[in-house]
Chain A
């Protein structure tokens, strides 16, 4: 498991220096447990999604593409990952 710690990510909470192994998030309406310490970009990589093909909304705020690398995935985050599909 690779833990991505980009610049600007907060240090893990707790005094032991050992981050929790997983965080619980709600991803596209489903509860998921993902590696702690991931950035949003890291999460997209794990999901095998190209950041240029999707838009991420984190806790009701749209993330600019440039921000996904520096935005951490934190406990309790509600993430929506959307893209364009066929429509009229």
Chain B
């Protein structure tokens, strides 16, 4: 490994050092038992959670705190499902009032079919939440200008999508992801769109600081097996990035010596 080149300086977001570059969601699992097993297999330290009404009739499952210990995992409340700045602020504050931490995964959706983010509303919400003392990790599309503005707004991390939420299409624009990573100082975590382990690996090979996924694990036939694969893929992609890949060429270059061949027949 070329230790003169890229070095891993640890995964620091805001004032906190994280052990795993893989962040996972907790939605869409078939059972809570499977969710916990998959999260443990993924090695993730940070897991996202959503804020929703308590089911007063108890026909549905209990809250996730009955299954995930905040001492074992760093629970990151999100603002999923919010379409306006006002809603995002409300959900962020409800999440903080639960008393776990003052972090939020901010997302403000702008379009239902694609779940693509509303950049203007996201930026507006980020400014308010930072002023209110939140540590904001902002979900955004793969747009450099928005990413720069979210960093300027004081977000502790900027989280561009690989492709739409839940699509499993992988990184549709690796160049934009690389450019965002090159230009930002705060950590860049690719959030949404990873479908399988190769997507996670390719994502990390772009040099980003981390990757966040939910559906790719939860909707796999074997979520625990996929979680393990994602853990390895994220590590492999990070290692490959740090190792520095060979130059790609559209021509073959032999790997064995051209000299020393025996007399041709």
Q: Which residues of A contact B (CB under 8 A)?
A: 27-30, 47, 49, 53-55, 57, 62-65, 80-88
In the assembled complex, 15 residue pairs joining A and B whose CB atoms fall closer than 8 Å, in A order, are A27-B56, A30-B56, A47-B56, A53-B63, A53-B65, A57-B94, A62-B93, A81-B53, A83-B63, A83-B64, A84-B63, A86-B28, A86-B35, A88-B78, A88-B80
> B64-107, CB under 8 A of A: which get 1 and which 0?
11100000000101101000000000100111011100000000
Q: Let me know if B50 and A85 touch, CB within 8 A.
A: yes
Residue of chain B at shortest CB distance from A62: B97
Q: Shortest CB–CB separation between residue A47 and chain B, in angstroms?
A: 6
Shortest beta-carbon contacts, A-B, top 6? A87-B50, A88-B25, A88-B214, A83-B63, A86-B26, A84-B49
Q: Let me know if A81 and B54 touch, CB within 8 A.
A: yes
Q: Shortest CB–CB separation between residue A11 and chain B, in angstroms?
A: 29
Q: Let me know if B53 and A84 touch, CB within 8 A.
A: no
Q: Shortest CB–CB separation between residue B169 and chain A, in angstroms?
A: 15
Residue of chain B at shortest CB distance from A49: B54
Q: How many A-B residue pairs have CB under 8 A?
A: 98
Residue of chain A at shortest CB distance from B76: A87
Q: Let me know if A87 and B48 touch, CB within 8 A.
A: yes
Residues of chain B within 8 A (CB-CB) of A82 are 51-54, 94
Q: Let me know if B26 and A88 touch, CB within 8 A.
A: yes
Residues of chain B within 8 A (CB-CB) of A86 are 25-29, 35, 49-50, 64
Residue of chain B at shortest CB distance from A84: B49
> B142-167, CB under 8 A of A: which get 1 and which 0?
00000000000000000000000110
B140 part of interface (Cβ distance < 8 Å): no
Known: A29-B53, A57-B94, A82-B53. A87 touches B65 (CB 8 A): no
Q: Let me know if B78 and A87 touch, CB within 8 A.
A: yes
Bound complex: CA of A85 vs CA of B26, how far in Å? 8
Other-chain residue from A47, A49, A55, A65 in contact with B94 (beta carbon distance below 8 A): A55
B203 part of interface (Cβ distance < 8 Å): no
Q: Let me know if A55 and B25 touch, CB within 8 A.
A: no
Q: Let me know if B54 and A83 touch, CB within 8 A.
A: yes
Q: Which residues of B contact A (CB under 8 A)?
A: 25-29, 35, 48-54, 56, 61, 63-66, 75, 77-78, 80, 90, 93-95, 97-99, 165-166, 192, 212-215
Residue of chain B at shortest CB distance from A56: B97
Q: Let me know if A64 and B165 touch, CB within 8 A.
A: no
Residue of chain B at shortest CB distance from A85: B52
Q: Let me know if A28 and B54 touch, CB within 8 A.
A: yes
Bound complex: CA of A27 vs CA of B53, how far in Å? 10
Other-chain residue from A27, A28, A64, A88 in contact with B97 (beta carbon distance below 8 A): A64
Residues of chain A within 8 A (CB-CB) of B192 are 88
Residues of chain B within 8 A (CB-CB) of A87 are 25-27, 48-50, 52, 78, 80, 214
Q: Let me know if B50 and A54 touch, CB within 8 A.
A: no
Bound complex: CA of A62 vs CA of B215, how far in Å? 31
Q: Let me know if A65 and B99 touch, CB within 8 A.
A: yes
Bound complex: CA of A53 vs CA of B67, how far in Å? 12
Residues of chain B within 8 A (CB-CB) of A63 are 97
Residue of chain A at shortest CB distance from B212: A88
Given contacts A63-B97, A87-B49, 10 further A-B contacts (CB under 8 A): A27-B56, A30-B56, A81-B56, A83-B51, A83-B52, A84-B49, A84-B77, A87-B50, A88-B166, A88-B214
